C-alpha cells in the first residue's frame, strides 16, 4: 500500500531520541515506506521532539515550516517528549496532522489510515502513568557508532526536570534483549556502541514492569563486555550516586569499555543540590572523580552543569566555578536554567535574571574550553587508538581516541570506520589534535 511513499525524520534532543527515531523509522520501512533525508520531498515527515531546552520547543515550528515548504501536502507527525507534555500545543501548530505521546510513538504506522491532511492535528497521548512498558531500540548514527537504549523513564524528582512527566517511570530492557541488540549491531560492522537511557545507572529496575530487580547496571556492563565482535563500549551519562566503585574498577580492566565517563553534577553548591533534589552532595562527586583518576589516570570525564537555577547567588555560582576549576575533569556541558511548567523550581523564589544566567553560562563555557585544552595537552605523547568517522570535513577526517580526544588528519576514505594505533603529537589551531600513525598503520 505504501510502496511509493516516502518518509523523513527530524530528531531534536538527546541520543536516546536518536535511537528511538531509528526504531520508529524501521517500522515505516517494514510497512513499505522509503526513508529519505529530511531536506528531501516526502509524503510523511516525523519530528521527534524534546522538552529539555527552550530552544527545542521553539525550533519545532521552524522545522514544521521547512517540511511544508518541500511538500505542503505532506502528512506531519509529532512524537516524543514535548508531544507527551504539550500535545494540544503541538497539534495547534499549522500543518501538524498527528501528535503521539510516550507509548503511542512506537506504533505510529497503525495511526495512519490515509495520509489526507487533517484540519486540526489529531492527538493520541496516554496518561504518563501508562508509560510503563519498555521498547528496546538502537540507532546507527553513522557507520562508526550506534546508540543502544537500555533503559527509559526516571523515578527521580529533580525540581527542574520534566523528563519523568514526559517519559514515565524508570524501566529497563531485559538483559537478554540488550545483548541481542548488541550482537546485531556488531554484526553490521559497527565498531562502537554507546549505552543510552534516561537514567542508565538505574538499569535493572522495571525489567518485569515492576520495581523488582533481577539485574544491576554492573551486571549489564559485565555481560556486554563478553559480546564478541564489539570493539568499543562507551557509557553515556550516569548519575554520580549510581556509578559505583565496582563499575569503575571493572571498566578500568575491560578490553572493550573505554575510559570515558559523563557524570552530571548540576551544581557545585550543596545548598543548590538540595534545592534541586539531587540524590548526592558534592563530596560524593569528588570521590567519584578521584576514584576514576586513581584507576584510570588518562580517563576523560565530562560534566553537566546548570547555571541560573532559582536562588543561585553570585557566591553559589563562584562556588561551582571554583570547584570545577580545581577538579580533574575534561570538559563541561553547560545548561542555562529555563523555567518548565509543572516543576517545583518554577515556583521557587530567587529568580536569576536572564542576563546574569547568560553571563554565568559564558564563564563556564570558557572554563570548559580551558579544561578540554588542558586535557588534550596532558595526552600529547601518549599512544592511543583512534576510531575514524565517516565524514570529509573540509579535506580532513576526524576521529576519537578511546578517552575521547578528537583528532584530525587529511581525508583518506580508506580510514573510515577503522581503528588505528596513533601517537598524539600536537594541538592544531582549531583545537583538534594531530598524530602520527604507529609503525605501518594496520587496522586493529
Give alpha helix (H) positions in 103-201: 163-167, 175-187
The conformational region for residue 333 under phi > 0 = left, psi -120 to 50 = alpha, else beta, is beta
Quote the pLDDT of residue 344: 96
% helix, strand, coil for the chain, step of 5: 35, 25, 40
Query: In the chain, which stretches have pLDDT less than 50?
Result: none
Half-sphere exposure of 47 (CA within 13 A, CB side): 33
**Residues β-bridged to residue 195:** 148, 235
Reported as type and span, the H/E element at residue 147 is strand 145-149
Whole-angstrom Cα distance, residue 414 to residue 435? Answer: 17
Give alpha helix (H) positions in 350-422: 354-379
Half-sphere exposure of 345 (CA within 13 A, CB side): 25
Scan for cell 520534566, then name that residue: 162
Amino acid at each position: 500500500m505504501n510502496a511509493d511513499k516516502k518518509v523523513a525524520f527530524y530528531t531534536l534532543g538527546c541520543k536516546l531520541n536518536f535511537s528511538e527515531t531509528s526504531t520508529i523509522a524501521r517500522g515505516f520501512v517494514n510497512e513499505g515506506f522509503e526513508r529519505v533525508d529530511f531536506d528531501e520531498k516526502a509524503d510523511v515527515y516525523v519530528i521527534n521532539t524534546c522538552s529539555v531546552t527552550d530552544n527545542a520547543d521553539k525550533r519545532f515550528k521552524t522545522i514544521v515550516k521547512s517540511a511544508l515548504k518541500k511538500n505542503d501536502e505532506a502528512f506531519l507527525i509529532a512524537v516524543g517528549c514535548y508531544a507527551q507534555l504539550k500535545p494540544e500545543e503541538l497539534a495547534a501548530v499549522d500543518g501538524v496532522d498527528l501528535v503521539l505521546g510516550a507509548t503511542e510513538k512506537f506504533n505510529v504506522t497503525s495511526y495512519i489510515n490515509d495520509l489526507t491532511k487533517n484540519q486540526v492535528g489529531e492527538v493520541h497521548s496516554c496518561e504518563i502513568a501508562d508509560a510503563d512498558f519498555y521498547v528496546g531500540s538502537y540507532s546507527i548514527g553513522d557507520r562508526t557508532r550506534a546508540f543502544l537504549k537500555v533503559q527509559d523513564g526516571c523515578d527521580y524528582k529533580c525540581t527542574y526536570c520534566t523528563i519523568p512527566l514526559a517519559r514515565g517511570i524508570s524501566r529497563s530492557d531485559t538483559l537478554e534483549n540488550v545483548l541481542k541488540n548488541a550482537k546485531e549491531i556488531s554484526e553490521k560492522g559497527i565498531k562502537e556502541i554507546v549505552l543510552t537511557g534516561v537514567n542508565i545507572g538505574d538499569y535493572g529496575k522495571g525489567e518485569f514492569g515492576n520495581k523488582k530487580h533481577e539485574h544491576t547496571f554492573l551486571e549489564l556492563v559485565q555481560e556486554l563486555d563478553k559480546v564478541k565482535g564489539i570493539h568499543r563500549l562507551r557509557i553515556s551519562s550516569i548519575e554520580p550516586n549510581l556509578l559505583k566503585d565496582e563499575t569503575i574498577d571493572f571498566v578500568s580492566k575491560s578490553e572493550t569499555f573505554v575510559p570515558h565517563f559523563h557524570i552530571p553534577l548540576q551544581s557545585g553548591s550543596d545548598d543548590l543540590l538540595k534545592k534541586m533534589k539531587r540524590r548526592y552532595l558534592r563530596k560524593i562527586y569528588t570521590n567519584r572523580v578521584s576514584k576514576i583518576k586513581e584507576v584510570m589516570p588518562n580517563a576523560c570525564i565530562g560534566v553537566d552543569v546548570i547555571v541560573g537555577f532559582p536562588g543561585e547567588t553570585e557566591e553559589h555560582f563562584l562556588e561551582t566555578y571554583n570547584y570545577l576549576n580545581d577538579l580533574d575533569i575534561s570538559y563541561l556541558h553547560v545548561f542555562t536554567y529555563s523555567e518548565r511548567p509543572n516543576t517545583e523550581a518554577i515556583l521557587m523564589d530567587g529568580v536569576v535574571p536572564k542576563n546574569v544566567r547568560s553571563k554565568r553560562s559564558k564563564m563556564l563555557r570558557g572554563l570548559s574550553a580551558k579544561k578540554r585544552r588542558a586535557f588534550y595537552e596532558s595526552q600529547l605523547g601518549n599512544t592511543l587508538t583512534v576510531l575514524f568517522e565517516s565524514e570529509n570535513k573540509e579535506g580532513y577526517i576526524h576521529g576519537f581516541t578511546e578517552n575521547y580526544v578528537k583528532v584530525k588528519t587529511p581525508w583518506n576514505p580508506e580510514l573510515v570506520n577503522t581503528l588505528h594505533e596513533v601517537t598524539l603529537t600536537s594541538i592544531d589551531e582549531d583545537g583538534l589534535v594531530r598524530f602520527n600513525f604507529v609503525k605501518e598503520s594496520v587496522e586493529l
